[in-house]
Chains A and B, each alone.
Chain A
Amino acid sequence: GAVVSQHPSRVICKSGTSVKIECRSLDFQATTMFWYRQFPKQSLMLMATSNEGSKATYEQGVEKDKFLINHASLTLSTLTVTSAHPEDSSFYICSATGPGTSGGRPSETQYFGPGTRLLVL
Chain B
Amino acid sequence: QKEVEQNSGPLSVPEGAIASLNCTYSDRGSQSFFWYRQYSGKSPELIMFIYSNGDKEDGRFTAQLNKASQYVSLLIRDSQPSDSATYLCAVRGAGSYQLTFGKGTKLSVIP
Residues of A within 8 A of B (CB): 32, 34, 42-44, 46, 49, 91, 93, 97, 105-106, 108-115
**Minimal Cβ-Cβ distance residue in B for A2:** B46
A115 in contact with B42 (CB, 8 Å): yes
17 contacts between A and B (CB under 8 A): A32-B97, A43-B103, A43-B104, A44-B101, A46-B101, A49-B98, A106-B49, A106-B51, A108-B92, A109-B34, A110-B34, A110-B90, A110-B99, A112-B44, A112-B45, A114-B43, A115-B42
Are A112 and B104 closer than 8 Å at their CB atoms?
no
Provided the pairs A34-B98, A105-B49, A106-B49 are in contact, do residues A93 and B92 lie with their beta carbons within 8 angstroms?
A: no
Contact between A114 and B46, CB atoms less than 8 A apart: no
State whether A108 touches B46 (Cβ < 8 A): no
Instruction: Tell me the minimal C-beta distance from B53 to chain A in angstroms.
Output: 16
- Return chain B residues, CB-CB under 8 Å to A113: 43
Cα distance, A34 to B92, chains bound together (Å): 14
Interface range on chain B: under 10, 10 to 19, 20 to 34, or 35 or more?
A: 20 to 34
Cα distance, A97 to B104, chains bound together (Å): 21
| Interfacial chain B residues near A91, Cβ < 8 Å | 41
A112 and B99 alpha carbons, distance in the complex (Å): 13
Which B residues from 71 to 91 make CB contacts under 8 A with A? Answer: 88, 90
Q: What 0/1 pattern do residues 9 to 38 of B give for CB contact below 8 A with A?
A: 000000000000000000000001010100
Residues of A within 8 A of B102 (CB): 43
Is B42 a contact partner of A108 (Cβ separation < 8 A)?
Answer: no
| B88 and A43 form a contact (CB under 8 A) | yes
Chain B, Cβ-Cβ closest to A112: B43
3 closest A-B pairs by CB: A43-B103, A115-B43, A112-B43
Chain A residues closer than 8 Å to B97, beta-carbon distance: 32, 49, 97, 108
Which of B88, B98, B103, B104 meets A46, CB within 8 Å?
Answer: B98
Min C-beta distance of B91 to chain A, whole Å = 10
A69 to B100, CA, bound (A): 21
Residue of B nearest to A49 (CB): B98
